[in-house]
Chain A
Amino acid sequence: MNVASAAPLYRGADWDFQLLQRIHDACEGIALSELGLNVYPNQIEVITAEQMLDAYSSVGMPLFYKHWSFGKHFAHHEAFYRKGLMGLAYEIVINSSPCISYLMEENTATMQTLVIAHAAFGHNHFFKNNYLFKQWTDAEGILDYLNFAKSYIAQCEEHHGQLAVERTLDAAHALMSHGVFRYPGKKALDLRAEEKRERERRSHKERSFNDLWRTVPSGPGKTATELSVDRRRSLLGLPQENILYFLEKSAPRLQSWQRELLRIVRHIAQYFYPQGLTKVMNEGTATYVHYRIMNRLHQQERISDGNFLEFLQSHTNVVFQPGFDDQRFSGFNPYALGFAMMQDIERIVTKPDDEDHEWFPDIAGNGDVMGVLRDVWANYRDESFISQFLSPRLMRHMRMFHLHDNPADSEGIRVQAIHDERGYRRVRRELARQYDVGLIEPNIEVVDVDLAGDRRLLLRHQVVNGSLLNEADAKRVLQHLADLWSYDVLLKEVDATDTVLKEHAVSPRKIAAAA
């Protein structure tokens, strides 16, 4: 093998800014020419542990509006951290262009190399190329948009009082997970245009405000009979699963600034939406990339054996997957699963056996590891990735098995399938389903509203596998929803045969109606 030998990048554990630059350049050379990655420009920021905690509590973003729940998360993390129950992440990386990676000052030189390879190239490539991120996020605009959101919300607090803003944000946060579009069809997000639009909306209103018009009597409205149910529903865009969007557009008594707040929360939810769908792939990609780069650097003798051992130790910790009966078990470790699958793909592409030829006829033995992986990284999400690429060999290696727990079954939990010939496809299908967003989040839609009548909002929860909503939480979320809608809200939980299993009815609180 042609090993281009070069002087070691560093010795020992200390680093300085020139070294970070040299490390970045060394990683970049390997990432671009050997792995063929395509990345946003990088920006590397060195921060302290306290700043890392700060960043944690505002979902990793460098600038964020003020809200008590971030303070709560900060306190929570801090308490854990102080007690030593939790280490800090080595890095946080932001899906933006330039792609910003935060590095902690406490890291050793080897850790910084690992983190740069991991975040600045692995995650960065994934953000830039995966179809979900392309479809739903706007890396160029996000930081400007957050800046706008922050100052807009601060202005609102000045104009309308912190309490009113907090109330609206609380409600919006409660519905945040139901504030995303899941299926394409809408235009891709353009956050810069968003900000401009808001400014124009406002200045238009300021220009065209004329108090006279308020006194003009409005004409006779259409009666309910004139609007057939179907027409009404299509006018309102119903059924609508994006509840925040629906409220922003149709809630009758919201003020325009409240609509804008809902819009902001919705955009942020949408921006983070792909990250939830690609946890395994995203971490797997970054881990695979750092592993390749670090090995190559070691081969080139730019990292000493000792430092390489230090790297291997961190790497092993990251991809450690305890078994289900281990004290430390807390579900599948996305780093471990993603990395293992990608290494497995590398094996299938380069050294396939008969089983692989049978299971993966398209890629087995085709020899182009990076070509296949780049294609996978670009075109899949966790669910489809697992259902396509989890191999029998890996299932055997990780000793996966499928448990089925039906509360009605008094005997206990049944082992439905294990890692054997009969079980491979079932285990793989079930594991993929665990990452299916349609099954993670309850499926709730706005189905109807009687605008001319009592304006009651009707929602529907499609119950899957007989699992109803947690009642206490549902009531509280619906309370927020009713406050925004300012009329009654009714949520029906129905099963596949349209039988209503449960109903939750909530009326708005007085104080919200007055706001």
Chain B
Amino acid sequence: MHIVDRRLNPGSKSLENRQRFLRRAKALVQRAVKDTSQNRSIKDVLEGGEVSIPLDGTSEPRFRRSAGTRDHVLPGNKKFIEGDVLPRSGESGGRPKEAGEGDSEDAFRFVLTREEFLDLFLDDLELPDLAKRKLAEAEHEGIRRAGYSIAGSPANLSVSRTVKLATARRIALRRPRPETIEELEAELAACDDEERRIALQAQIATLKSKIKRIPFIDPIDIRYRRFETVPKPVAQAVMFCLMDVSGSMSEHMKDLAKRFYMLLYVFLTRRYKHVEIVFIRHTDRAEEVDEETFFRGPASGGTLVSSALQAMHEIVRTRFRPADWNIYAAQSSDGDNSYSDGDVTGRILTELLLPVTQYFAYLEVSESGGPMDMPDSALWTLYQRLSNEGAPLSMRKVSDRSEIFPVFRDLFQKRGKQERATP
């Protein structure tokens, strides 16, 4: 009999099959990912996790019988006698579920890894290869010294450390110094006393054999310099999500904005080790809120865009020193602003915010299929003017979910050209 320990064999033999299945079920999984990400918070998008896909969508057909007469022999009869008739519906414990029945139609939960989830999430938005490359290169590795090791390549031999250890060993083992022997030999040559000569000769012989037993450098002394790769410290980033939540923002508009923020978040987390998100919503006054309130909380009132910018400025000033943080802001709004607020908004932007932000994106959202010939909104006109004057500010209009990605790409491609300070 043989006993084999297979536990050390590489596991996950199914990985390849799993990937094939994912490829196969891509459309289904994608739909599931899309549905899932709608109900998820922005941060959770990165976590991967379970999606539910219908088993039926990837079923493997077989010839199967359907209806017709059926005969069953069952165990556990307690009260029936021949000739009894049982109702079909299953009350009184009637007909049992048949093996195999209904087990192929259910959905099953499929656990996606973070990478798989993100790939599918981004794929859904048709992330072009260009942008993918950009996202992928975010991580850098550096090399740094990491002490010594007993194995390594000759090029990394650390002579000083090796000699130091050899010396220590020689001292510890009382290896005689060659000078000592030379002295003794000199004394021997000069010595006349027979007894002394014999003692000296014995002493010299002992020392010589000792010097042979204890080598000058032993393999155990040898040390190599060790290096290890470390992720290069990448700076941190903060992302400001500014949204106008006055009554005119519909669920659809908020969904558009959320998708945009998600993309921005994905983009930033791929680029930075550490990303903070700050949600600021505003009507005629602004407040910092959590994500749930940001996207779902009701609010209404007038509109004062400058309040949000002012709040952002306050937060930057107190919590995110521009020297330490890369600051990004994405503002979404339907474009309404009170007339008198235009000047203030423009001033805060140009004087306080734009100088410290890496990137400021403005997304103007509208109802899907909204009227095409609407005049430009107050905010749009203002930003347009600032942009024309050379402010580093990007702006786009979006009315449909499918436009989110192209717009996002537009905004960030532009950034690639006029590359500002990179982390």
Chain A residues near B94: list those with CB within 8 A.
Answer: 412-413
Flag the segment in B17-25, B218-226, B397-405 that touches A.
B17-25
Query: A476 vs B60: C-alpha distance in the bound complex, in angstroms?
Result: 9
A417 pairs with B82, CB closer than 8 A:
yes
B1 pairs with A399, CB closer than 8 A:
no
B7 pairs with A467, CB closer than 8 A:
no
A69 pairs with B6, CB closer than 8 A:
no
Does A205 lie at the interface of the complex (its beta carbon under 8 Å from any beta carbon of B)? no
A330 pairs with B6, CB closer than 8 A:
no
Flag the segment in A259-267, A353-361, A423-431 that touches B.
A423-431
B64 pairs with A404, CB closer than 8 A:
no
Q: Which residue of B9, B69, B93 is within 8 Å of A324 (Cβ)?
A: B93
B3 pairs with A323, CB closer than 8 A:
no
Contact count band on B = 35 or more
Flag the segment in B83-91, B243-251, B267-275 that touches A.
B83-91
Q: A21-B3, A174-B60, A412-B88 are known contacts. Are A48 and B68 too (CB-CB below 8 A)?
A: no
Q: In chain B, residues 1-34, which have Cβ atoms closer than 8 Å to a Cβ of chain A?
A: 1-7, 9, 11-14, 16-25
Q: A105-B7, A415-B82, A471-B66 are known contacts. Are A54 and B12 too (CB-CB below 8 A)?
A: yes
Mark contacts of B62-80 with chain A using CB atoms, 8 A cut-off: 1 yes-contact digit, 0 otherwise. 1111111111111111101
A46 pairs with B82, CB closer than 8 A:
no
A400 pairs with B68, CB closer than 8 A:
no
Does A67 lie at the interface of the complex (its beta carbon under 8 Å from any beta carbon of B)? yes
A403 to B, closest residue via Cβ: B72
Does B227 lie at the interface of the complex (its beta carbon under 8 Å from any beta carbon of A)? no
Does A228 lie at the interface of the complex (its beta carbon under 8 Å from any beta carbon of B)? no
B76 pairs with A469, CB closer than 8 A:
no
Chain B residues near A140: list those with CB within 8 A.
Answer: none
Flag the segment in A37-45, A231-239, A371-379 that touches B.
A37-45
Q: Which residue of A57, A407, A411 is within 8 Å of B85 (Cβ)?
A: A411
Q: Which residue of B2, B3, B58, B64 is within 8 Å of A469 (Cβ)?
A: B64
Q: In chain B, residues 324-339, which have Cβ atoms closer than 8 Å to a Cβ of chain A?
A: none
Distance (whole angstroms) from the CB of B67 to the closest CB of chain A: 6
Q: Which residue of A41, A79, A403, A476 is within 8 Å of B108 (Cβ)?
A: A79
Q: Which residue of B2, B58, B60, B111 is within 8 Å of A78 (Cβ)?
A: B111
B15 to A, closest residue via Cβ: A71
B75 pairs with A42, CB closer than 8 A:
no
B11 pairs with A403, CB closer than 8 A:
no
Chain A residues near B415: list those with CB within 8 A.
Answer: none
Query: A54 vs B11: C-alpha distance in the bound complex, in angstroms?
Result: 8
Chain A residues near B95: list those with CB within 8 A.
Answer: 403, 405, 413
A47 pairs with B7, CB closer than 8 A:
yes
Mark contacts of A183-199 with chain B using CB atoms, 8 A cut-off: 1 yes-contact digit, 0 otherwise. 00000000000000000
Mark contacts of A281-295 with chain B using CB atoms, 8 A cut-off: 1 yes-contact digit, 0 otherwise. 000000000000000
Query: A13 vs B47: C-alpha distance in the bound complex, in angstroms?
Result: 39
Distance (whole angstroms) from the CB of B4 to the closest CB of chain A: 5
Query: A417 vs B84: C-alpha distance in the bound complex, in angstroms?
Result: 10
A68 pairs with B20, CB closer than 8 A:
yes
Q: A41-B1, A51-B11 are known contacts. Are A68 and B108 too (CB-CB below 8 A)?
A: no
A54 pairs with B14, CB closer than 8 A:
yes
Does B140 lie at the interface of the complex (its beta carbon under 8 Å from any beta carbon of A)? no
Query: A98 vs B3: C-alpha distance in the bound complex, in angstroms?
Result: 12
Does A433 lie at the interface of the complex (its beta carbon under 8 Å from any beta carbon of B)? yes
B71 pairs with A477, CB closer than 8 A:
no
Mark contacts of A3-38 with chain B using CB atoms, 8 A cut-off: 1 yes-contact digit, 0 otherwise. 000000000000001001100110010000000000
B72 to A, closest residue via Cβ: A403
Query: A403 vs B62: C-alpha distance in the bound complex, in angstroms?
Result: 27
B52 to A, closest residue via Cβ: A79
Q: A75-B110, A403-B71 are known contacts. Are A468 and B82 too (CB-CB below 8 A)?
A: no
Query: A465 vs B66: C-alpha distance in the bound complex, in angstroms?
Result: 11
Q: In chain A, residues 451-492, which have Cβ atoms closer than 8 Å to a Cβ of chain B?
A: 461, 463-474, 476-477, 480
B4 pairs with A43, CB closer than 8 A:
yes
B86 pairs with A476, CB closer than 8 A:
no
Query: A321 vs B76: C-alpha distance in the bound complex, in angstroms?
Result: 9
A83 to B, closest residue via Cβ: B109
A412 pairs with B87, CB closer than 8 A:
yes
B18 pairs with A51, CB closer than 8 A:
no
Query: A473 vs B61: C-alpha distance in the bound complex, in angstroms?
Result: 5
Does B130 lie at the interface of the complex (its beta carbon under 8 Å from any beta carbon of A)? no
A48 to B, closest residue via Cβ: B7
Does A155 lie at the interface of the complex (its beta carbon under 8 Å from any beta carbon of B)? no
Query: A177 vs B63: C-alpha distance in the bound complex, in angstroms?
Result: 8
Distance (whole angstroms) from the CB of B122 to the closest CB of chain A: 22
B63 pairs with A68, CB closer than 8 A:
no
A178 to B, closest residue via Cβ: B63
Query: A72 vs B2: C-alpha distance in the bound complex, in angstroms?
Result: 33
Query: A20 vs B2: C-alpha distance in the bound complex, in angstroms?
Result: 10
A325 pairs with B69, CB closer than 8 A:
no
A102 to B, closest residue via Cβ: B6
B69 pairs with A416, CB closer than 8 A:
no
Does A380 lie at the interface of the complex (its beta carbon under 8 Å from any beta carbon of B)? no
B92 to A, closest residue via Cβ: A325
B60 pairs with A69, CB closer than 8 A:
yes
Q: Which residue of B5, B13, B19, B24 is within 8 Å of A46 (Cβ)?
A: B5
Q: In chain A, residues 76-125, which have Cβ atoms closer than 8 Å to a Cβ of chain B?
A: 76, 78-79, 82-83, 98, 102, 105
Q: In chain B, residues 179-216, which have Cβ atoms closer than 8 Å to a Cβ of chain A?
A: none
Does A202 lie at the interface of the complex (its beta carbon under 8 Å from any beta carbon of B)? no
Q: Which residue of B63, B70, B109 is within 8 Å of A405 (Cβ)?
A: B70
A50 pairs with B11, CB closer than 8 A:
yes
Q: In chain A, residues 292-340, which have Cβ atoms closer than 8 Å to a Cβ of chain B?
A: 321-326, 329-332
Q: Can you give 6 A-B contacts (C-beta < 8 A)?
A: A21-B1, A54-B13, A68-B21, A178-B63, A399-B77, A468-B68
Going nearest first, the 10 A-B pairs with the smallest beta carbon separation are A323-B76, A467-B68, A71-B21, A325-B93, A71-B17, A476-B61, A324-B74, A68-B20, A401-B77, A431-B73
Known A68-B17, A401-B73, A442-B64; further 7 A-B contacts with Cβ < 8 A: A24-B3, A58-B14, A68-B20, A79-B108, A400-B74, A406-B69, A417-B82
